[in-house]
Structure 1
Amino acid sequence: MKYRFGSRLREAREKKGLTLRQVAENVGVSESLISQIERDRVSPAMDTLLSLVEVLELDIEYLFQDWRRTRPFAFVPRENRTKTEVDGTVYERLASIPGSTEGEGIEGYLIRIPPKHEKRSEPQGHRGKELGIILSGEGEFILGDMIYPLKAGDSIAFSSGVPHVFRNTGEVFLEAYWIVTPPRRKV
């Protein structure tokens, strides 16, 4: 996939009143290369791009705003969902969008916890945030020192850094939609 941001670089250069030659000298490349980059004829090497951003005093995110808004989305037909069982809990992957940088991205699961079962025995914490929506069954969610009873229709959102564990206290499978950011599992 070729991404075009040359016009943004040209706009920034012209706004600062710099010539192609001045930018090229400060970046340490040829004037011709800067011209080709601005016309989207070539993609710069990462070190050249970082130098351009520095010389033009840009936030690199500025160059990728359009890409972030239009990047691919995830569509997973029901019959194509992957299922994985971990310690008795079934994770059915709904969809996932990877992040472009560490700490980004999101993933969703339909989880099924067997009756009278815990996802794990001891509360654990990790980096990120989570959102759960209980579809059926009942259980309890332990977050730090607090215990929250959960039943169908309830939802919970929290910082994953706080040690937590999810238990099915009922007589039937507990089902929930679970959203996690950044993605953690390779299901």
Structure 2
Amino acid sequence: MQVKKIVGKKLKEIRLKHDLTIQILADKSQVSSNMISRIERGLTIPSVEILMRLANVFDKSINYFVEDVSSSHEVVFTRTGGRDKTVYDDEHNMHTESFTSGLRDPQFMSFYCTVQKGGKSGESNMYHPGDELIYILEGHLKMTVTDEVYLLEAGDSLCFKSHLPHRWENIGDQEAKVIWTLSPFTII
């Protein structure tokens, strides 16, 4: 099924389940009634910002609208080596394995990350909605949050509001193994 149709179908279902008219949803979400109608009819794919506004009305993550229910589950068990893997660009030198891939409408995302020696998020800070939890399994990671530097090593954790400007860098002489959890789901 096309993404446009999945999003439209899910939006209409949840709107009707909550007994909302298109106009009431428009007022609550600050999204035009015309846009909501076009989304529900599968005529357009909304931007991430619009999806976030709609998701907030129903206390859902944006994943709720884009996941195909037939391919997601309420319980996900994955053996070592079976997790979905992502390799970020050479600048980041980070490989991730998702713990939550396949979970229906997760309210958080969690990853097992391997950050190569010298790997970093970049020279400029990032910031986004939500919360982050970082737990170091092996190695060292330098986290800068609002210009305060935290030198993390095995067994250390750091939790912070992601809207604060932040960046990371592996300053150790080996790979850093990290469990990284974000809520709501955002991109590391």
TM-score, normalised with respect to structure 1:
0.58
- 2:178 alignment partner in structure 1: 176
Q: 1:80 to 1:162 in 2, by over 3 A?
A: same
One-letter amino acid of the structure 1 residue matched with residue 133 of structure 2: L
In the TM superposition, what are the counterparts of 1:101-120 in structure 2 within 5 Å? 105-120=107-122
User: For 1:89 and 1:45, how far apart are their aligned partners in 2?
Assistant: 37
Q: 1:45 to 1:165 in 2, by over 3 A?
A: closer
- 2:157 alignment partner in structure 1: 155
One-letter amino acid of the structure 1 residue matched with residue 155 of structure 2: G
Structure (1 or 2) with the larger CA radius of gyration: 1
* Runs of 5+ unmatched residues, structure 2: 1-12, 21-57, 59-72
| 1:82 Cα offset (Å) | 1.5
Is it true that 1:92 corresponds to 2:61 in the alignment?
no
Q: Give deviations 1:42-69, integer Å, cap 9, x for gaps.
A: xx99547516xxxxxxxxx8xxxxxxxx
Give the counterpart of 1:76 among 64, 75, 78.
Answer: 78
Is it true that 1:167 corresponds to 2:169 in the alignment?
yes
User: For 1:169 and 1:118, how far apart are their aligned partners in 2?
Assistant: 9
Cα RMSD of the aligned pairs, angstroms, is: 2.8
Q: Give deviations 1:10-35, integer Å, cap 9, x for gaps.
A: xxxxxxxxxxxxxxxxxxxxxxxxxx
User: For 1:184 and 1:47, how far apart are their aligned partners in 2?
Assistant: 28
User: For 1:155 and 1:50, how far apart are their aligned partners in 2?
Assistant: 43
Q: Which runs of 4+ in 1 moved over 3 A?
A: 44-49, 96-99
- 2:40 alignment partner in structure 1: none
| 1:166 Cα offset (Å) | 1.1
Give the counterpart of 1:50 among 19, 37, 43.
Answer: 19
User: For 1:141 and 1:45, how far apart are their aligned partners in 2?
Assistant: 39
Q: Give deviations 1:60-112, integer Å, cap 9, x for gaps.
A: x8xxxxxxxxx81332222321111113211111224453xxxx611110111
- 1:10 alignment partner in structure 2: none
> SS of the residue aligned with 1:79?
coil
Is it true that 1:122 corresponds to 2:124 in the alignment?
yes
One-letter amino acid of the structure 2 residue matched with residue 82 of structure 1: D
Aligned partners of 1:89 and 1:119 also within 8 Å: no
Which structure has greater strand proportion? 1
Q: 1:182 to 1:116 in 2, by over 3 A?
A: same
Q: 1:98 to 1:121 in 2, by over 3 A?
A: farther
- 1:25 alignment partner in structure 2: none
* Runs of 5+ unmatched residues, structure 1: 1-43, 52-60, 62-70
- 2:148 alignment partner in structure 1: 146
> SS of the residue aligned with 2:108?
strand
% same residue: 24
- 1:134 alignment partner in structure 2: 136
How many residues are matched? Answer: 123
| 1:129 Cα offset (Å) | 0.6
| 1:119 Cα offset (Å) | 2.4
